Chain A
């Protein structure tokens, strides 16, 4: 089974409870190195909540810091809310150094932020992450600023505040960045 792990792992998708239970107990005994990103991807991409939960448990157990970017490449396109939360757990600055990973974070961030009344924890973590990331280099700031610019239109006060603060910091860190909707107006000096 290990030789054809990619096909074998499809067993978890079975509609029959017996098969699923067998698959789960069997795969739990698999060595860590068997869970390559491809194999993990198949389990994680399932649409069944219990398979996703199983995949998350395996991922938390087997993920090594060095692998984060490889796993993220796949996870970042997942549409499920529960997976978004997992992503925010494993998303680190080191992983985001990889420009391919970073390219996928931006669409995901839009999907997460535009969920209606859902995913508060993921939204907060992702906003904090992107805020910090934007202040690192000018190139990153340029890419992230439009996202915060859109978010500053949000009807949710919490998101809006965060976006405005992020835009303020970006503006201060990199003056003259194009396309910022925020303009700093100096306080009027008052004399007594």
Chain B
């Protein structure tokens, strides 16, 4: 998927004895979005934005060891090793020794002659590595200016980690021009170094430059066009994390030192075998406990009491991504964990008071959001007609951020329907859910609406389910009410074989439990999302209910 940006000038950062100025160049092809302000809380801002940078460059995919040098050496010595292995004759040995000695001398001389060349080459590669660091950044961060706050969002290169830094307007002094909206900003690696120079004795101004929007007709040469080709899985990953934030979760409040305890335990040892998860034990009104596998080390956080109503045991994988938080923790007031469930995404919100840094993690590092998590499949997928959805969206447009209840009151749309419409927009990247203030926010990820046709089916299961419905191969059996849940079972005729899926939906139409007798469910349970039969049954059920 290709994204096109047009920046006016470049993002610049300058630090002098008394001032630091950060001027971000926004994408001028998008609606004018700008902001000028002066940072009031210098140190928390510095730590939080540095943590955000670590998300942008984070890449924890497995990097195979580079063995080219070894193979080159092997090739060079192959002949010699072969001869050594084959020769048993004593008389050849002294001769061989002499030749080897001579060869060694020759190599030494060669190395001496080539030394300046090798040195220069290394220097060149080092330079290239440094110059080309910006190539690590996949998509420039997205910045959104809203009436109550301004926030930066980014998604890591390995499609597994999401970062968001939100700053209330109160964390800025002297706010100047402002225009609400969302834009991409031109981001470069050099900015990180400049962030490190933020000090309280320097006035630190942050601006999303309004200039580019004024001079549309003249100075064309000052504009810089950029085309970025992004993999579909990356975009889907970004969209899925937005949807995940809107899902219900166990919320655990931790002391920053508790999170530090987890990080230091992980940093002290390296696991050589599985299981590699963190197990959170949550019991209402009891201290939160964490088990670190595979050493089965239990940490009990006596000053962090779990306040939720329902407890549970939740496993989290890809835990080394939490190390990104190390930078964010020291000045934080608290850390809030949103745990969706075992193998599902989790979010850590570091709160500085006015400034908040959110780290979102997919279920696993290697199996990215789109391939393994598939949690967006668990979100309510009620059919909403286009006119109603548009009405809700238009209402959100006027106020930029709002809760479901107030949107429903403003439009007269039933709150369940409004929530479903907003979820659909979240999945399309046009709206995001704010974990801190519990509101939906307008945030157009891209200038043009994303091609949901190609992004829509993340998995073959979903596509198959669609076909079952179209071919009318699904029938609903019984619908029972149990503990506030609706338990539905039915039949799906798949390739001349009948499967009997069962799904359980809660009051908010969320899929909370499911079973099937197909191979996919037997093999994966719900770890890889519902199977095609469950999906088909669910969609049909919603169709009937509507």
Contacts and interface: CB of A to CB of B under 8 A. Distances in A.
B193 interface: yes
A6 to B, nearest CB: 5
Query: Which residue, A42, A46, A155, has most C-beta atoms of chain B within 10 A?
Result: A155
A42 B17 contact: yes
A113 to B, nearest CB: 8
Interface residues of B, number: 35
B387 interface: no
Interface string B241-259: 0000000000000011110
- Say which size band chain A's interface belongs to: 20 to 34
Query: Which residue, B17, B201, B265, B268, has most C-beta atoms of chain A within 10 A?
Result: B17
A167 to B, nearest CB: 14
Contacts of B331: 107, 110-111
B296 interface: no
A73 interface: yes
A46 B15 CA distance: 10
Contact of A77 (B50, B199, B323, B326): B199
A130 B466 CA distance: 66
Contact of A6 (B17, B46, B200, B329): B17
A116 to B, nearest CB: 5
Interface string A95-116: 0000000000001001101111
A153 B267 contact: no
Contact of B196 (A47, A74, A107): A47
A41 B329 contact: no
Contact of B326 (A38, A79, A116, A153): A116
A107 B43 contact: yes
Interface in B91-125: none
Interface string A65-82: 000000001100101100
A156 interface: yes
B261 interface: yes
A150 interface: yes
A151 interface: yes
Given A155-B265, A155-B299, A150 B257 contact: yes
Contacts of B438: none
B258 A73 contact: no
A77 B43 contact: yes
Interface string B190-210: 000100110111000000000
A117 interface: yes
B17 A153 contact: no
B323 A79 contact: no
Query: Which residue, B15, B42, B260, B265, has most C-beta atoms of chain A within 10 A?
Result: B260
A116 B323 contact: yes
Interface in A126-184: 150-151, 153-156, 181
A143 B257 CA distance: 18
Contacts of A124: none
Contacts of B299: 155
A47 B193 contact: yes
Contacts of B301: 153
A74 B201 contact: yes
Interface in B470-504: none
B255 A153 contact: yes
A154 B261 contact: yes
Interface of A: 6, 38-39, 41-42, 45-47, 73-74, 77, 79-80, 107, 110-111, 113-117, 150-151, 153-156, 181
14 contacts: A6-B17, A41-B17, A45-B15, A74-B199, A77-B42, A77-B201, A79-B47, A114-B257, A114-B260, A150-B255, A150-B256, A151-B257, A153-B257, A154-B264
